[in-house]
Structure 1
Amino acid sequence: MSTPTTPGGTTPGGTDPEVITPEVITSVQNGIGRIELNRPRAINALTRDMLVTIQQAVDAWREDDEVTRIEITGRGERGLCSGADVRALRQQLVDGDLAGAVEFFDIEYPLNADLATYPKPVWSVMDGITMGGGMGLTLHGTRRIGTHTTQLAMPEVGIGLFPDVGATYELSRMPGETGTWMALTGNPVDASSALWAGLLDETDELRTHPDDSWLATNRSWIDECFAGDDPVAILERLEAHDHPEVAATLQVILGRCPLSVAVALELVRRAAHQPSVADVLQIDRVLAGNFFADTEFIEGVRAQLVDKDRNPRWRHAHVGEVTRAEVLAMFGE
């Protein structure tokens, strides 16, 4: 019999144990190790304790012959996972607990790396909103299943962070510059675009054929505008382009954190040359510590999720004000 991964009771009658916590439910059913995120009101936003519970389950099932694969899902109608509980992390920083806030990444990133190389298949149902930390739990898995409500994104540039959890490994390998577009805008893609781009392996239903998806049909101008290593040049090409979708994209990036945009571009370019997700996560860990020691994240979360005025006061008025030295400093160079 499988042993419980966290303290708790077993189901009467000798059936497979189910361990229930307020925020994560783990169980073994018919050989499948099930992990259900259970904070539906917060779109299953990840806390430190949730990550610990997931890691404990993953560790317990690694050598358990009764478990043939893992399946990750989220409870609630809004989505699998909206990412980390960034409001809680911001509050830690406001309270002066930098070490406690950064510890979140020291738990999250090893879990992301573990799932990327797990010896058993890791399936996930990326229903609804699956963003940020939710991508870290699912994107590197064996079988990524979408639904008609799937919305995938790495939106961190909008809150003064960067696309982390090793996601730029996959983003940098998407067709053309579509992954660069995702990293710099933080915009979501639906199941059709995600399937076309290789972020999903299958879906239960498609509203649009992948070849007719938004990303597929807009790839031409995305490739043209998002090429190169200079974020200022990217914005200039967007400003000069006449495609009807370009103006909206330009306005989105202009509203993102300039430092985050510049770092995101550098990270995508570096991730393209990394041999594994784990290698990208090592870069992410350096960036995470430096971003949390900065103030942009505190301001970004304030504007988007605390005061909700949607008017962040970034340190730089424009990405052109971000120096190369500032970008390299975030990479610890």
Structure 2
Amino acid sequence: MSEEVLIRSVGGIGRITLTRPSALHALNTPMCAGILAALTAWKNDPAIHLVWIDHQEGTRGFCAGGDIRMLAESGAGDASEAREFFRTEYRMNAALKAFPKSVLAILDGVTMGGGVGLSVHGSHRVATERTLFAMPETGIGLFPDVGGGWFLPRLQGEVGTWLALTGARLKGADVAACGVATHYLPSEELPALAARLEAADFSADAQARLDAILAAVSRKVPPPGFAAHLETLNRCFGKETAEEIVRCLEADSSDWAKGEAVTLRSKSPETVKVSLRQLREGSKLESFEDNMRMEFRIGWRKVQSRDFQEGVRAVIIDKDNAPVWSPARIEDVSDEDVARYFAPLGADELTFPE
């Protein structure tokens, strides 16, 4: 078991606590493997009634994502380590989605990328005023994976498309208002919530008991901060192509739309178009596993792409925040450039253990 995640069972609850504070609890392959093994063992264990996921008390962030530096270093070579990480992480995501019991995640702090995949597929997700949610992958030439093709297009309207393409950040109650979290409460109430969970008997109707506990401590969620822009957001991000989305934003009279257009233009053009196709195809898929197979195909190739290597250089290594994308404009990315990421992998396709 990885020393960077603490896994144990306490009073009928399967506890998963991230303990890698030096990296804001970012996931690596051993952490994902340990969580996957626990979920597999707990799935049919009658002594486990629900799963509770959080991070080490007194540390920052819930989970900042995956180990991006490792992915880039591996992608610069044969990419075998990166692909093994994706294989393990995506199986973990699928195990969470299919888990037959309640899964509670406490999104207290930074929740991005892999941290979203560790939480959003569970049944109960609690946000606090410290929650900072984002899927920022287009800014480094990656893509909104860990099931983003499934959950993002299933948020209200085109909110998921906006989040995926621009990397927009949501804070606090907005994370619940858009459906990423299911409940919201002040972080100062988390110790009281923990005490209630630890004292409760979940041996009979665990979901109803968990629902009642969360209802007792949760706060009413106000309209999201982006509510005033929903008409423009839905109209523009609902367009068929990335070119049409940008043109719609640039033609709009609002400062918000023009700002979003500038943001979109700053992202990896190729990745914007790959991500848009990912979400559009994901919205039509009938199974989560099929979505993860699609994302594995993209990830298999994306870690070796020029834009991912350049994005990591600019944002994480050199920190000049001045990536030089190729192609440089959304309009110059061809359908063929995008389609190659979605091609089948043959014998290398993602499979799921029985």
Q: Same fold (TM over 0.5)?
A: yes
Q: 1:110 aligns to what?
A: 91
Range that drifts further, 42-51 or 183-192: 183-192
Aligned equivalent of 2:330, options 289, 312, 319: 319
**Contact 1:51–1:107 (CA<8 Å) still a contact in 2?**
yes
Deviation at 1:250, TM superposition (A): 1.5
Deviation at 1:330, TM superposition (A): 1.3
Give the counterpart letter for 1:260 in structure 2: T
Give the counterpart letter for 1:152 in structure 2: F
Q: 2:178 aligns to what?
A: 197
**Contact 2:108–2:127 (CA<8 Å) still a contact in 1?**
yes
Aligned residue runs from structure 1 range 1-333, under 5 A: 6=1, 21-75=2-56, 76-94=58-76, 96-205=77-186, 210-332=221-343
Range that drifts further, 252-261 or 97-106: 97-106
Q: 2:205 aligns to what?
A: none
- Per-residue CA deviation, residues 136-161 of structure 1 (Å, 9 max, x unaligned), is 11111010111111111111111111
Q: Cα 1:272–1:126, aligned 2, differ >3 Å: closer, same or farther?
A: same
3-state SS of 2:99 partner = coil
Provide the aligned length of Structure 1 versus Structure 2.
312
Q: Cα RMSD (Å) of the superposition?
A: 1.7
Between the aligned residues of both structures, percent identity stands at 35
Deviation at 1:106, TM superposition (A): 0.8
Q: 2:196 aligns to what?
A: none
Deviation at 1:46, TM superposition (A): 0.7
Deviation at 1:209, TM superposition (A): 6.6
**Contact 2:327–2:333 (CA<8 Å) still a contact in 1?**
yes
**Contact 2:139–2:266 (CA<8 Å) still a contact in 1?**
yes
Q: Distance in 2 between matches of 1:218 and 1:277?
A: 30
Q: Distance in 2 between matches of 1:248 and 1:211?
A: 24
Q: Distance in 2 between matches of 1:297 and 1:209?
A: 40
Structure 1: which 5+ runs fail to align? 1-5, 7-20
Give the counterpart letter for 2:37 in structure 1: Q
Deviation at 1:212, TM superposition (A): 2.9
**Contact 1:193–1:213 (CA<8 Å) still a contact in 2?**
yes
**Contact 2:184–2:220 (CA<8 Å) still a contact in 1?**
no
Normalised by the size of structure 2, how large is the TM-score? 0.84
Range that drifts further, 134-143 or 248-257: 248-257
3-state SS of 1:138 partner = coil
Q: Distance in 2 between matches of 1:245 and 1:152?
A: 20
Structure 2: which 5+ runs fail to align? 188-218, 345-354
Give the counterpart letter for 1:88 in structure 2: M
Give the counterpart letter for 2:127 in structure 1: G
**Higher relative contact order structure (alpha carbons within 8 Å, sequence separation ≥ 6):** 2
**Contact 1:296–1:314 (CA<8 Å) still a contact in 2?**
yes
Deviation at 1:168, TM superposition (A): 2.5
